[in-house]
């Protein structure tokens, strides 16, 4: 029995497993890379919902709720348009619509461009991540290292004696993690490093954590851990217009491998969503006030 995650977490994982098994999709490394590229385009949806949209309409360019189409883009959903389904908190589902099923004002470049950069990251952006991370029990420090070392999560002792790397066994008690990032690197490189280290944490590579809703899992081999972390880094970095070596890493993997092996795709999507939420990244779809 899993005590680390809410029931809906198990439902989502079961749903994804059934979808993957029944569709027989994404078992090939080339298909997997194409799916990651699709998810990076729909950055107004959580990664898991972008995956669900890909299953329903692989050629989808952009989608939004009826509320967002009207309020944000000045467009109306065409009569008779067929909605697409996504999972939604307390929903359990919500309806969204393909851009091709709407009419009205011209679309902004942010919608027309498949990949849109959010601008160069600055030191202030990196510093701005410190406070939300602290709220999760994760301390971010910028340390001057040699250029070859990007950063890491490391165990140690805080001044008050609390062990760094101490996982939480109580859902109400924050853990204590420390991520060190090279202060000499460019902020974009620092961002990639931060995401990679957070990916290892949220993928469960450091073990379970009740506070962070990280479930117990069998420790995967080093190659699988790196592929999972690089997949998360690729998703988040590309969804936020940041160049990373993750794309080269995944491209090399696709060229060298035919199938995906035992990769836990559900955890990759979940970890990417958790990290984006913690760092307050993205511009998520909205549905307006709930009708009581």
Tokens 């809703």, located at residue: 213
Q: Where are the domains positioned within the chain?
A: 62-113, 123-278
Can you tell me the distance from the alpha carbon of 78 to that of 198, in angstroms, rounded to the nearest whole number?
42
Can you tell me the distance from the alpha carbon of 21 to that of 217, in angstroms, rounded to the nearest whole number?
20
pLDDT of residue 256: 77
For 121, 149, 150, 183, 233, the CA distances from 146, given in Å and listed in that order, are 21, 6, 8, 10, 22
Kindly state the tokens that stand for 154. 């490391």
**Reported pTM:** 0.83
Q: Are 54 and 34 in contact (CB under 8 A)?
A: no
Can you tell me the distance from the alpha carbon of 232 to that of 217, in angstroms, rounded to the nearest whole number?
17
How do residues 33-44 score in pLDDT, each as one tens digit?
888 888 988 888
Can you tell me the distance from the alpha carbon of 246 to that of 233, in angstroms, rounded to the nearest whole number?
7
How do residues 201-252 score in pLDDT, each as one tens digit?
999 998 899 999 998 888 888 888 988 999 999 999 988 888 888 878 888 8
Kindly state the tokens that stand for 92. 């359990």
User: How does the average pLDDT of the chain come out, rounded?
Assistant: 81
Kindly state the tokens that stand for 254. 């696709």
Instruction: Express as a percent the part of the chain with pLDDT over 90.
Output: 38
Can you tell me the distance from the alpha carbon of 188 to that of 139, in angstroms, rounded to the nearest whole number?
19
* pLDDT over threshold 50, residue 2: no
Can you tell me the distance from the alpha carbon of 113 to that of 128, in angstroms, rounded to the nearest whole number?
27
How do residues 40-80 score in pLDDT, each as one tens digit?
888 889 998 998 898 889 889 899 999 999 999 999 999 99
Task: Decide which of 22 and 241 is more confident.
Answer: 241
Kindly state the tokens that stand for 94. 């919500």
pLDDT of residue 259: 66
């Amino acid at each position: 029995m899993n005590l680390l995650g809410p029931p809906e977490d198990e439902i989502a994982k079961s749903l994804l497993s059934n979808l993957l098994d029944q569709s027989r999709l994404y078992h090939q490394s080339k298909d997997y890379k194409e799916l990651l590229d699709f998810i990076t385009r729909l950055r107004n949806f959580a990664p898991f919902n972008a995956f669900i949209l890909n299953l329903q309409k692989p050629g989808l360019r952009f989608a939004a709720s009826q509320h967002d189409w009207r309020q944000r883009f000045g467009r109306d959903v065409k009569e008779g348009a067929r909605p697409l389904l996504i999972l939604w908190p307390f929903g359990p589902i919500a309806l969204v619509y393909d851009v091709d099923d709407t009419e009205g004002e011209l679309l902004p470049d942010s919608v027309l461009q498949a990949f849109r950069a959010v601008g160069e990251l600055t030191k202030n952006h990196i510093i701005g991540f410190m406070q939300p991370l602290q709220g999760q029990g994760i301390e971010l420090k910028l340390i001057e290292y040699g250029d070859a070392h990007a950063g890491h999560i490391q165990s140690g002792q805080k001044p008050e004696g609390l062990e760094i790397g101490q996982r939480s066994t109580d859902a109400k008690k924050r853990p204590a993690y420390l991520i060190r990032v090279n202060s000499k690197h460019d902020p974009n490189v620092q961002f990639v490093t931060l995401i990679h280290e957070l990916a290892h944490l949220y993928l469960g590579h450091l073990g379970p954590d009740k506070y962070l809703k990280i479930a117990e899992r069998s420790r995967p081999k080093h190659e699988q851990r790196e592929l999972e972390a690089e997949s998360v880094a690729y998703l988040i970095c590309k969804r936020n217009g940041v160049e990373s070596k993750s794309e080269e890493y995944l491209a090399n993997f696709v060229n060298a491998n035919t199938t995906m092996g035992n990769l836990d795709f559900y955890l990759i999507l979940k970890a990417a969503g958790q990290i984006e939420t913690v760092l307050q990244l993205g511009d998520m779809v909205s549905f307006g006030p709930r009708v009581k």
